[in-house]
Amino acid sequence: MTIPHTAPARLEWRVARVTAVREEARHARTLVLDVPEWPGHRAGQHVDVRLVAEDGYQAQRSYSIASPPESTPVELTIERLEDGEVSPYLCDVLRPGDGLELRGPIGGYFVWETSLGGPLLLVAGGSGVVPLMAMLRHRHAAAAPVRETVPVRLLYSSRTVDELIYRDELTRLEGAGDVDVHFTLTRGVPAGWTDFQRRIDRAMLAEVGWPAASGARAYVCGPTPLVEAVANQLVELGYDPSRVRTERFGPTG
């Protein structure tokens, strides 16, 4: 399927309607949105969301699109930040039937589609998994011969196991033999945990990542310190810097 690369003439604010919500993990919720005149999007892109209070005060945040280009409606997965200005409203207050002002899709750098090929290394910290999930879902929607040309490995760092977003879906993707998934927990593990239990480091990337000679494309997303450390480590391991794309989400939530 060819993803149309057409940019809208203007990036307009529109009011989307929340059609459903879905609790994903301890601090995360997916909003299912009906967006009028949505032009389609690419995996990895985001939307800007704007909240306006009665006194006119505006708060604006960017949220990665979780759904792949192949499916409508548009889905956003929001991590609830304890001291956030916007995320508590989106996670605790917003209900199906409510409107949400947003503009998008936005972005042309942190995007991936099957035509870009692989192998693909996806590295996520916390809610940084959201745009990478859009990429995985996009890849999963492709025909088997296409998927076979793009092997993919995901390394996903989370504080605790109950903060892992999309864990069941990732386990299913891995079980289908399609995706290689590694989790690492940084603040304690449940009994019987057999995967990694430390911050991502160069040794872990060397172990689970593609060798640099494979020409792999890497996408790294999550808290700024993690993204910067991992990107530097991948370049140290020999990755072509132009094939390492990053999206910083700011301080650890």
Partner 1 sequence: MQMEEMRLDGNAAAGILREIFVHDMTAAVATCRGCGATGMVGGLLEYGQEMGAILRCPKCEAVLLRVVHAPDGMRLDPSGLALLMIPANALVT
Determine if residue 177 is left, alpha or beta; phi over 0 gives left, psi from -120 to 50 gives alpha, anything else beta: left
Is 53 a binding residue for partner 1 by CB under 8 A? The answer is no
Cα–Cα distance measured from residue 28 to residue 30, given in angstroms and rounded to the nearest whole number: 7
C-alpha to C-alpha distances, 252 to 145, 162, 211, nearest whole angstrom: 38, 17, 29
Is residue 96 at the binding interface for partner 1, with CB under 8 A as the rule?
A: no
Near partner 1 by CB under 8 A: residue from 37, 109, 177, 191: 109
Residues 209 and 121 sit within 8 Å (Cβ to Cβ) = yes
- Out of 86, 94, 106, 206, the residue judged to bind partner 1 by CB under 8 A: 106
Strands 217-222 and 244-248: parallel
**150 secondary structure, DSSP code:** S
Which of 17, 103, 140, 199 is close enough to bind partner 1 by CB under 8 A? 103
DSSP of 101-136: EEEEEE-SSS---GGG---EEEEEEGGGHHHHHHHH
| Residue range at the interface with partner 1 (CB under 8 A); choices 106-114, 138-146, 178-186, 211-219 | 106-114
The one-letter amino acid code at 14 reads R
- As measured in angstroms, the least distance from the Cβ of 6 to partner 1 is 6
| Nearest CB to partner 1, comparing residues 25 and 124 | 124
**Which of the 8 DSSP states describes residue 54?**
T
Question: Which of 125, 128, 223, 253 forms a contact with partner 1 (CB under 8 A)?
Answer: 223
Q: Nearer Cβ to partner 1, position 11 or 203? A: 11
Name residues contacting partner 1, limited to 56-75 (CB under 8 A): 62
Which x/- pattern over 4-43 shows residues binding partner 1 (rule: CB under 8 A)? Answer: -xxx-x-x--------------------------------
Q: Which of residues 232-251 bind partner 1 (CB under 8 A)?
A: 245-251
Which residue in the block uniquely carries the two structure tokens 């508590």? Answer: 88
Q: Does 225 bind partner 1 (CB under 8 A)?
A: yes
- C-alpha distances (whole Å) from 134 to each of 15, 164, 168, 170, 202 are 22, 16, 15, 12, 26
Q: Minimum distance between the CB of residue 103 and partner 1, rounded to whole angstroms? A: 7
Count of residues binding partner 1 (CB under 8 A)? 27
Q: Based on CB atoms, which residue is closest to partner 1, 159 or 245?
A: 245
Task: Label the pairing between strands 120-125 and 217-222.
Answer: parallel
If the CB atoms of residues 179 and 223 are measured against partner 1, the closer one turns out to be 223
Look up residue 234 and give its DSSP letter.
H
> Using CB under 8 A, which of the segments 24-32, 107-115, 193-201, 209-217 binds partner 1?
107-115
Binding site for partner 1 (CB under 8 A): 5-7, 9, 11, 46, 48, 62, 103-104, 106-110, 223-225, 228, 245-252
